[in-house]
């Protein structure tokens, strides 16, 4: 339990430093970086406890970071990633591995400013994966790997979740 608290504290402190001190900007000749982060799981969510965590209606509200935190982080990450569209309303600070399938709520390896249209499409898949895991049709680990990174569109096709 102490390790779980330590990991959450470290993730939160790292994000807080980015918000307070600003991003570490690395110049990139390649232009904007729209790739998702590698993703990070919530160590408090396991296959053994999904019926007490992700399968409980409303559970994600208990772990979702506050909007003030994610809005500030979104602005910092947009600058660090050299986004050309700098309107924060065009992005959602999204979890690469969603909270619905045990993604880490505050770890910077799991948060990024995803274009809003893409984030809305991904939301449908997140719900379908949660339903599959909670219905015993898919393991938690398989759902996390399915949606991780850029794989989510292929995952949506496998799950039969329509994406435009």
Residue 133: phi and psi, rounded to 5, are -65, -50
What are 74-101's pLDDT values in tens digits?
999 999 999 999 999 999 999 999 999 9
Which two three-digit tokens encode residue 44?
Answer: 């408090």
Q: Hey, is 62 helix, strand or coil? A: helix
Which two three-digit tokens encode residue 108?
Answer: 């910077």
Pair 33, 81: CB distance under 8 Å: yes
Alpha-carbon span 136 to 102, nearest angstrom: 15
pLDDT reading at 19 higher than 60: no
Pair 144, 41: CB distance under 8 Å: yes
**Is the pTM here over 0.75, yes or no?**
yes
């Amino acid at each position: 339990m102490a390790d779980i608290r330590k990991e959450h504290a470290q993730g939160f402190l790292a994000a807080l430093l980015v918000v307070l001190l600003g991003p570490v900007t690395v110049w990139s000749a390649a232009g904007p970086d729209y790739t998702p982060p590698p993703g990070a799981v919530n160590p408090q969510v396991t296959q053994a406890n999904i019926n007490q965590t992700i399968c409980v209606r409303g559970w994600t509200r208990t772990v979702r970071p506050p909007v003030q935190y994610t809005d500030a982080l979104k602005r910092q990450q947009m600058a660090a990633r050299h986004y050309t569209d700098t309107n924060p309303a065009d992005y959602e600070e999204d979890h690469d591995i969603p909270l619905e399938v045990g993604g880490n709520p505050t770890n910077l390896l799991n948060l990024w400013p995803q274009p809003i249209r893409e984030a809305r499409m991904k939301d449908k898949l997140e719900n379908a994966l949660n339903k599959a895991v909670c219905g015993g049709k898919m393991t938690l680990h398989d759902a996390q790997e399915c949606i991780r990174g850029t794989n989510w569109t292929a995952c949506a096709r496998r799950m039969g979740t329509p994406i435009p």
